[in-house]
């Protein structure tokens, strides 16, 4: 029996989906993403006629309407990239820890990246986005290691609820540290507080190009780890029996997930619950095989964050609600539902 077949036959797995069903869902998800791209460009606090949208897409920015569209385009691209990165990061963390509650926000990883960036801004004057991304990834990695170590203490090892509690406690502590850092610094407090909410407003192609190498490497590591994640789903002993180097596989997959969460947080701020909700939805659509799950998760995560951004522009006109607030309204009830499930110990 192959590793993938073994994953499909395990008691914790979802029923395997035929290839044609997966391809059908892929086309559906792709169509939804395309519609959301159109909505993101066309919808905002200002109503823009179709003629201005088409001319702006052609590169013109002579009128105010065309200039508005030129601002929305990088915002749309950033939402797609950040949503995909956060969703894949969550799926990988869930696979590595076999924890249905795993999410970069819930595990304190986003706040670790956030604190590192704030310290860099406040004490080192770090204004270069490239440097901020490196610092954010380092902070995310340290936070992930700390939460996993604390959640592994005691009997039973790193159970889902212990990791969630350790992550929640760590996030609360890190939020307090962030507040302590920015309170004396009135020169950066306003910008940092806005960034801390999590959003994609103010996106520029310059910043997107700076984050793309990190996102690309992180996605590549995660996708290459798909087979190993299938093995880890069977348990460490079985994975080792299948020839998998468990510690190396877990470390490499976690590295990719940390890079994705850290880079997205550095540019967008800490956006929560995308990595929690999306992987669970995608497992229902395409099953637990990570070779299919991760690409679908990236596509669906991009759609979710893009939809959250569009909704935030509509419901608060003429103002906007940042995507971090919208995703919290979506994800918090889902988190409570997962916690209350009887089979919360493993995927």
Q: What is the pLDDT of residue 339?
A: 67
Mean pLDDT over all residues of the chain? 87
Rounded distance between C-alpha atoms, residue 222 and residue 239, angstroms: 18
pLDDT tens, residue by residue, 167-185: 989 999 999 999 899 888 8
Mean pLDDT, rounded, for 11-15: 41
Residue 11 scores a pLDDT above 70: no
Choose between 46 and 26: higher pLDDT.
Answer: 26
The answer as to whether 288 is a domain residue is yes
Choose between 209 and 124: higher pLDDT.
Answer: 209
* DSSP structure class, residue 331: H
pTM of the model: 0.90
Q: What is the pLDDT of residue 342?
A: 46
Residue 5 scores a pLDDT above 80: no
> Of all residues in the chain, what percent carry a pLDDT higher than 70?
93
Tally of domains within the chain: 1
The answer as to whether 345 is a domain residue is no
Q: What is the pLDDT of residue 294?
A: 96
**pLDDT band at 62; cut points 50, 70, 90:** confident
The answer as to whether 346 is a domain residue is no
Residue 343 scores a pLDDT above 80: no
Q: What is the pLDDT of residue 8?
A: 45
**pLDDT band at 341; cut points 50, 70, 90:** low
Residue 3 scores a pLDDT above 60: no
CATH number at residue 251: 1.10.3470.10
Rounded distance between C-alpha atoms, residue 57 and residue 22, angstroms: 33
Rounded distance between C-alpha atoms, residue 189 and residue 181, angstroms: 9
pLDDT tens, residue by residue, 281-326: 999 889 899 999 999 999 999 999 999 999 998 888 888 899 999 9
Q: Is 341 exposed, middle or buried (0-12, 13-18, 19+ CB in 10 A)?
A: exposed
Tell me if 69 sits within 8 A of 107, measured CB to CB: no
Domain of residue 144: give its range.
3-340
Choose between 14 and 81: higher pLDDT.
Answer: 81
Render the burial of 32-69: b for 16+ CB within 10 Å, e for the rest: bbeebbebbbebbeeebeeebbebbeeeeeeeebbebb
Choose between 138 and 340: higher pLDDT.
Answer: 138
Measured CA to CA in angstroms, residue 9 lies from 134, 152, 168 at distances of 40, 28, 33
pLDDT tens, residue by residue, 265-274: 999 999 989 9
The answer as to whether 159 is a domain residue is yes
Residue 7 scores a pLDDT above 50: no
């Amino acid at each position: 029996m192959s590793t993938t077949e073994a994953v499909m036959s395990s008691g914790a797995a979802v029923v395997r989906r035929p290839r044609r069903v997966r391809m059908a869902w892929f086309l559906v998800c792709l169509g939804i993403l395309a519609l959301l791209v159109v909505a993101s460009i066309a919808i905002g606090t200002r109503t823009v006629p179709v003629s201005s949208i088409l001319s702006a897409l052609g590169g013109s920015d002579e009128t105010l309407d065309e200039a508005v569209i030129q601002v929305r385009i990088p915002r749309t691209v950033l939402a797609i990239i950040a949503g995909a990165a956060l969703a894949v990061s969550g799926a990988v963390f869930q696979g590595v820890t076999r924890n249905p509650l795993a999410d970069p926000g819930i595990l304190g990883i986003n706040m670790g990246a956030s604190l590192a960036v704030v310290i860099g801004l406040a004490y080192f004057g770090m204004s270069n986005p490239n440097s901020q991304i490196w610092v954010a990834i380092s902070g995310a990695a340290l936070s992930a290691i700390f939460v996993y170590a604390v959640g592994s203490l005691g009997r039973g090892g790193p159970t889902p609820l212990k990791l969630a509690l350790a992550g929640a406690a760590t996030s609360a502590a890190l939020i307090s540290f962030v507040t302590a850092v920015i309170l004396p610094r009135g020169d950066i407090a306003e910008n940092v507080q806005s960034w801390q909410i999590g959003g994609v407003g103010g996106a520029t192609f310059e910043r997107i190009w700076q984050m793309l190498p990190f996102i690309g490497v992180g996605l590549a590591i995660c996708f290459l780890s798909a087979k190993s994640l299938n093995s880890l789903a069977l348990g460490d002993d079985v994975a080792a029996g299948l020839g998998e180097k468990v510690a190396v596989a877990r470390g490499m997959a976690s590295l990719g997930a940390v890079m994705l969460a850290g880079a997205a947080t550095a540019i967008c701020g800490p956006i929560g619950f995308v990595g929690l909700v999306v992987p669970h939805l995608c497992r229902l659509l395409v099953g637990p095989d990570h070779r299919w799950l991760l690409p679908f998760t990236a596509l669906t995560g991009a759609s979710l964050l893009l939809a959250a951004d569009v909704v935030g522009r509509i419901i608060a006109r003429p103002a906007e609600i940042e995507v971090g607030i919208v995703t919290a309204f979506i994800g918090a009830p889902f988190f409570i539902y997962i916690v209350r499930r009887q089979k919360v110990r493993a995927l």
